[in-house]
């Protein structure tokens, strides 16, 4: 019955009716297809504030896509006058603004003028990308304020364009990391980031491999995915394999048949282990060692055991913390100790929006998922990992359409999936695309990030 009601609501007639009732109707998001020729195609309007520092890098990036680039007069003036500042397009697939040169609040008006004039021309499933600098690395407080202002601007723009399935992000590029912007810019411009909006991606200086093939960036890489037999873990395994990686999937004994099916479909390797068991770290290290070590480590396995804290048993508290947080740390420690993570590798934690915003009845889960972020923040500063050029990041999914969320009662579910700027739930593949972006050898400048995959959920920070 609830399936039939849902089908009706999502039909063309249902959507028309909702729209007539004044309810925001979700736009179908464009997602990546392996058959698409380039990561981006369509018209881009490039704008800039005074003294923009990354225009040349943005131009170089777009020259590798099927973009047709138009320039605002301010951007045209700064790219050597080669651009025709009078040329415009009726509609744009992307609006890209370089605000990296802002050093004063009064200069921000250039961003206002750019978006005021162009935002109505942004197409459905379009992209807004703002480029800035990390505010704490600015030379003085006025510049720091101007750079931090870009975050509020981009998050608000994301809320203004979400109804048409469009997204907005800020990329902050550290001094000396200009050449490392490439993978982040490709990701946020492409349909791979369909369900990510209102995020800040921090890019730091690092030794980066620039030769990656956009369609097969993980060719020759070995990836570990825990909890790989279903849901988000299965999508991560599928996506990493699609991008060229050999996947080693881990799951518990009761999931052996499901894991076997996924791994044989992907030509991967199945490892049966409860990640909380004492011997799991060495079993996993051995399996990865036999393949020459791992390049991507994804700690996806996780559970919920929901109850308000007054009603929660200590066993359920401890079990949730152990599976979601402590086990991943023990496995990472063993892999580092046995040198099983290859140089240039990537470690990814799976957090949750509820780990950021908190949730009634989820003190254990939210604590574990906030812990994932703390671990990632700290590890990203590790000298040992920096020496091996290993990155550490987290994804924080919001409402993702899985068996878990399908079990939520219909009206709570319908309400839950709409509480974000894109007015819909995300798909497991949206989380997986973000993890593949972190694992891309061209993303070595992306470390210490927690990227929310939540359609800019209205809850949480």
Among 62, 143, 323, 370, binds ligand NAD (CB under 6 A): 323
366 in contact with ligand NAD (CB under 6 A):
no
Site for ligand NAD (CB under 6 A): how many residues? 28
Residue with the two structure tokens 């929901």: 306
How far CA 228 is from CA of 32, 97, 131, 149, 170, in Å, comes to: 22, 39, 35, 40, 31
Integer Cα distance of 152 and 161 in angstroms: 15
Neighbouring CB atoms inside 10 A of 139's CB total 8
Q: Least Å distance between CB 303 and ligand NAD?
A: 5
227 in contact with ligand NAD (CB under 6 A):
yes
Q: Least Å distance between CB 453 and ligand NAD?
A: 8
274 in contact with ligand NAD (CB under 6 A):
yes
Which span sits near ligand NAD by CB under 6 A: 9-17, 214-222, 339-347, 394-402?
394-402
Q: Least Å distance between CB 12 and ligand NAD?
A: 27
**By the 8 A CB rule, do 349 and 436 touch?**
no
Closest CA to 342 of 385, 405, 301, 313: 385
Indicate the residue among 300 and 389 with the shorter CB distance to ligand NAD: 300
Among 49, 397, 441, 445, binds ligand NAD (CB under 6 A): 397
Among 226, 246, 421, 449, binds ligand NAD (CB under 6 A): 226
Integer Cα distance of 383 and 23 in angstroms: 51
Cα separation of the two ends of the chain: 36
To the nearest 10°, report the CA torsion of 368, 372, 374, 376: 170
Please say whether the dihedral angle defined by the alpha carbons of residues 336, 208, 239 and 159, taken in this order, is positive or negative. positive
To the nearest 10°, report the CA torsion of 74, 79, 80, 84: -70
Phi–psi pair at 177, nearest 5 degrees: -105, 15
Q: Is 365 a catalytic residue?
A: yes
Among 300, 320, 362, 447, binds ligand NAD (CB under 6 A): 300
38 in contact with ligand NAD (CB under 6 A):
no
Element (H, E) at 224: strand 222-226
Integer Cα distance of 427 and 119 in angstroms: 27
The residues, any chain, with a CB within 8 Å of residue 61's CB and separated by 6 or more, are: 181, 182, 185, 186
393 in contact with ligand NAD (CB under 6 A):
no
DSSP states of 49-102 as a string? -TT-S-HHHHHHHHHTTEEEEEE-HHHHHHTTT-S-TT---SSEEEEEEE-TT-
Indicate the residue among 355 and 445 with the shorter CB distance to ligand NAD: 355
Which span sits near ligand NAD by CB under 6 A: 129-137, 179-187, 193-201, 400-408?
400-408
406 in contact with ligand NAD (CB under 6 A):
no
275 in contact with ligand NAD (CB under 6 A):
yes
362 in contact with ligand NAD (CB under 6 A):
no
281 in contact with ligand NAD (CB under 6 A):
no
Burial label for 412, CB within 10 Å (0-12, 13-18, 19+), is exposed
Indicate the residue among 115 and 399 with the shorter CB distance to ligand NAD: 399
Which span sits near ligand NAD by CB under 6 A: 115-123, 138-146, 182-190, 231-239?
231-239
Indicate the residue among 95 and 348 with the shorter CB distance to ligand NAD: 348
Integer Cα distance of 55 and 78 in angstroms: 8
Which span sits near ligand NAD by CB under 6 A: 10-18, 28-36, 273-281, 288-296?
273-281
One character per residue 233-272, x = contact with ligand NAD (rule: CB under 6 A): x----------------xxx--x-----------------
Integer Cα distance of 302 and 307 in angstroms: 16
Among 165, 198, 231, 455, binds ligand NAD (CB under 6 A): 231
Indicate the residue among 128 and 301 with the shorter CB distance to ligand NAD: 301
Residues in contact with ligand NAD by CB under 6 A are: 226-227, 229-233, 250-252, 255, 274-276, 300-303, 323, 350, 352, 397, 399-400, 402-405
- Residues involved in catalysis: 365
């Amino acid at each position: 019955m609830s399936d039939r009601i849902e089908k009706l609501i999502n039909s063309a007639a249902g959507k028309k009716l909702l729209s007539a009732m004044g309810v925001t109707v979700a736009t179908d998001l464009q997602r990546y297809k392996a058959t698409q020729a380039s990561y981006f195609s369509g018209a881009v309007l490039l704008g800039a504030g005074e003294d923009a520092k990354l225009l040349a890098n943005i131009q170089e990036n777009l020259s590798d896509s099927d973009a047709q680039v138009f320039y605002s007069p301010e951007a045209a003036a700064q790219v050597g006058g080669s651009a025709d500042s009078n040329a415009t397009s009726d509609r744009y697939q992307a609006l890209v603004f370089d605000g990296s040169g802002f050093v004063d609040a009064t200069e921000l008006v250039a961003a206002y003028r750019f978006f005021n004039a162009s935002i109505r021309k942004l197409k459905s499933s379009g992209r807004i990308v703002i480029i800035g600098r990390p505010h704490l690395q600015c030379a003085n407080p006025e510049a720091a304020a101007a750079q931090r202002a870009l975050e509020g601007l981009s998050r608000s723009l994301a809320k203004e364009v979400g109804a048409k399935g469009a997204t907005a992000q800020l990329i902050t590029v550290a001094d000396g990391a200009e050449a490392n912007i490439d993978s982040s810019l490709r990701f946020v411009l492409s349909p791979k980031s369909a369900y990510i909006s209102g995020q800040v991606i921090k890019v730091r200086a690092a030794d980066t491999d620039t030769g990656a093939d956009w369609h097969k960036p993980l060719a020759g890489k070995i990836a570990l995915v825990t909890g790989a037999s279903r849901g988000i873990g299965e999508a991560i395994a599928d996506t990493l394999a699609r991008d060229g990686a050999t996947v080693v999937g881990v799951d518990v004994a009761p999931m052996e048949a499901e894991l076997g099916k996924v791994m044989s479909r992907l030509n991967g390797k199945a490892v049966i282990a409860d990640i909380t068991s004492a011997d799991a770290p060495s079993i996993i290290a051995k399996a990865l060692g036999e393949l020459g070590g791992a390049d991507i480590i994804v700690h996806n396995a996780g559970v919920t055991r929901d109850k308000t804290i007054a009603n929660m048993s200590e066993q359920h508290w401890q079990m949730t913390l152990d599976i979601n947080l402590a086990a991943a740390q023990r496995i990472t420690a063993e892999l580092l100790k046995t040198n099983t993570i290859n140089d240039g590798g990537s470690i990814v934690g799976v957090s949750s929006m509820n780990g950021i915003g908190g949730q009634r009845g989820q003190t254990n889960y939210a604590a574990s998922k906030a812990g994932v972020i703390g671990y990632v923040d700290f590890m990203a500063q590790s000298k040992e990992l920096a020496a091996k050029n290993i990155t550490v990041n987290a994804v924080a999914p919001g409402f993702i359409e899985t068996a878990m969320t399908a079990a939520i009662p219909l009206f709570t579910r319908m309400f839950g999936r709409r509480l974000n700027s894109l007015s819909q739930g995300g798909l497991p593949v949206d989380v997986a695309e973000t993890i593949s972006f972190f694992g891309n050898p061209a993303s070595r400048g992306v470390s210490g990030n927690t990227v929310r995959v939540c359609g800019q959920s209205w809850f949480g920070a």
